[in-house]
Amino acid sequence: MAAKVKKTKYIFITGGVLSSLGKGITSASLGLLLKERGLSVTIMKFDPYINVDPGTMNPYQHGEVYVTDDGAETDLDLGHYERFVQAPVTRQNSVSTGQIYFEVIQRERQGKYLGKTVQVVPHITDEIKRRMTTFDKKFDVVIIELGGTVGDIESMPFLEAARQLGLEQGRTNALFIHLTYVPFIKSAGEVKTKPTQHSVRMLMEYGIQPDILVCRCEEELEKDVKSKIALFCNVEEDAVILALDAETIYEVPMHYAKAKLDDAVVRKLHIQRTSKPTLTEWAKFVQRVKKPKTKVTIGFVGKYVQHQDAYKSILEALTHAGAMNNARVEVKYIDSEKITSPEIAAEVLSETHGIIVAPGFGSRGIEGKILAIQHVRENGIPFFGICLGMQCAVIEYARNVCDLTNANSGEFKKVKNNVIDLMPDQRGITNKGGTMRLGSYPCVLKEGTKAFESYKSQIIRERHRHRYEFNNDFREELEKGGLIISGVSPDARLVEMIELPNHPWFVGCQFHPEFKSVAVGGHPLFVSFIGAAVTHQGKSA
């Protein structure tokens, strides 16, 4: 542990009034500011749902399932933590009520509670505290984001555990930040503090007095409004921090630095000898996001296009890669189910300078994806296929170039030409949760390929989440037909990347590069893809 603090400091972040105020971005931004002050930081998320993890949840409801290096399927907020703090999180950073109960019930079945009645307090809360202190002494600061909104029945045990832990750690080692909403009422022409007062009162019913209030508001807060909030909510005036709406989420750390959130945190936690973050590289990145030189349009072909949180990390990776290319990436969402003919494909893809075919599960929308891929392959439009997107590219090539009639994936249809099929290790698995090929695996790249050119490295490590893969029975035939296998597992058994020669940029990967794209610097494949889209736009302009 860095010598900045003697004891690990705990920061709890709760939310009140309503959801979607940006607790995840607040946690990530504070993490970045504290890291820039020279502290070692990790961020944990505690989610109140009973699912063990979001791996089995519909992305339509819950948003993207984010995958960590060690193969945990987690909430998308973990993605923000990694992108902002630029340090990997692990399975232990993501905790759900389901995991807590699972553990306690297993222990009960093993007779470990020695005849006691197993109860929410202390057994569930003790298990929550045990998880909350996983990183004790390993980091200077542990930020703990508590999912849900104060007042929800299901988040009560988390608040109780946080209260207890705060007391055990002592006032200068634990801090409570409450994120609330201060609405601006147009007809009255003023902001209203009552919802914040109520939400703090509710938090206090659980025995938690917030140390810092972060108030989300569309307007600047007048001094007297701040004073009122401070007085009624029993916090110091300089601990009332305004969170104004930002143009991009990446501007939020800069807003918070200006509003002195990190100053209040280090002051209250008695963290000494740290200097104000400069955010030099970050500010340059934000500037490029806000005022890029050029603009490209990327067609995003997927099935959950109405729900953008379902593809959060890809969209963020496009923003990062855009900044690296000094281009604004405008995403045109294309519902693959609507592409039912080559003509429609040509029409919906006109005016796009590159397309991404999204990851996914199940057969819905597949034929539309294949038609889109055929169009961009034949017309020299940059193509980036991710996971299912790569699998569709293989199917398209098999059908239309290698004459493998009706080629398909075993996931959709059992046929003679299953060019994509279940991985041998997956046969016989029936449980759905956490049983895919998950997490980081090495991949060896072939020199002279676009993959190699992008990464500038022979061995890479990327994260996976799939059951199906390129079927080796067809490897020779597809390679003979011109498909390049540009990345394989070190034992050469699994095809991890494909591409096409004689095409400006046609690359597919079985893994999910989007999970490793960080704000400052981006990801090599996305940066290279957007570079190709910028070139394509130059030619077509």
Residues labelled catalytic: 387, 512, 514
Which of 369, 503 has the CB closer to ligand GLN?
A: 369
Residue 242 pairs with which residues in a beta bridge?
215
- Between 13 and 390, CB nearer to ligand GLN: 390
Radius of gyration of the chain (CA): 25
How far apart are CB 68 and ligand GLN at their closest, in Å? 15
**Contact present, 358 and 389 (Cβ < 8 Å):** yes
Q: Smallest distance from the beta carbon of 452 to ligand GLN, in angstroms? A: 23
With vertex at residue 440, the alpha carbon angle to CA 437 and CA 445, rounded to the nearest 5 degrees, is 105
Distances (CA, A) of 233 to 10, 193, 201, 430: 22, 10, 8, 52
In the complex, what is the shortest distance from the CB of residue 92 to ligand GLN, in angstroms, rounded to a whole number? 23
Residue 226 or 465 with smaller CB distance to ligand GLN: 465
Minimum distance from residue 395 beta carbon to ligand GLN (Å)? 12
Q: How far is the CB of 73 from ligand GLN (least distance, A)?
A: 11
Taking the C-alpha atoms of residue 167 and residue 343, their distance in angstroms, rounded to an integer, is: 66
CA gap 391, 373 in Å, rounded? 11
**DSSP SS3 for 423:** coil
Nearer to ligand GLN, 4 or 466 (CB): 466
3-state helix, strand, coil in the chain (%, to 5): 40, 20, 35
Strand order in the sheet with 354-357: 327-335, 294-302, 354-357, 383-386, 506-509, 495-499, 484-488, 437-445, 459-466
Which residue, 215 or 395, has its beta carbon nearer to ligand GLN?
A: 395
Query: Phi/psi at 298 (nearest 5 deg)?
Result: -110, 125
69 vs 251 by CB, closer to ligand GLN: 69
- 335 phi and psi, to 5 degrees? -75, 115
* Contact (CB, 8 A) for 450 and 79: no
Q: Is 265 helix (H, G, I), strand (E, B) or coil?
A: helix
364 closest CA partner among 336, 392, 344, 332: 336
List residues near ligand GLN by CB under 6 A. Answer: 359-361, 387-388, 411, 465-468
Cα gap 469→146, rounded to integer Å: 37
User: 187 or 430, CB closer to ligand GLN?
Assistant: 430
DSSP string, 500-535: -SSSSSEEEESS-GGGG-BTTTB-HHHHHHHHHHHH
Q: How far is the CB of 424 from ligand GLN (least distance, A)?
A: 13
Contact 263, 236 (CB under 8 A): no
Give the shortest CB-329-to-ligand GLN separation in angstroms.
Answer: 21
Look-up: residue for tokens 């630095």?
257
For the beta carbon of residue 322, count every other beta carbon within 10 angstroms.
26
**CB-nearer residue toward ligand GLN: 22 or 302:** 302
Helix (H) or strand (E) holding 136: none
The least CB distance from residue 360 to ligand GLN, in Å, is 5
Nearer to ligand GLN, 101 or 412 (CB): 412
User: Cα–Cα distances in Å, from 115 out to 108, 112, 118, 411?
Assistant: 9, 8, 9, 48
DSSP strands (E only) in 303-407: 327-335, 354-357, 383-386
Residue 511 CB contacts under 8 Å (≥ 6 apart), including other chains: 387, 441, 443, 462, 463, 464, 496
* CB closer to ligand GLN, 84 vs 511: 511
Buried b (16+ CB within 10 A) or exposed e, 152-187: eeebbbbbbbbbbbbeebeeebbbbbbbbbbbeeee
**Residue 466 C-beta: closest distance to ligand GLN, Å:** 3
- How far, in Å, CA of 248 to CA of 228, rounded? 29
Q: How far is the CB of 172 from ligand GLN (least distance, A)?
A: 45
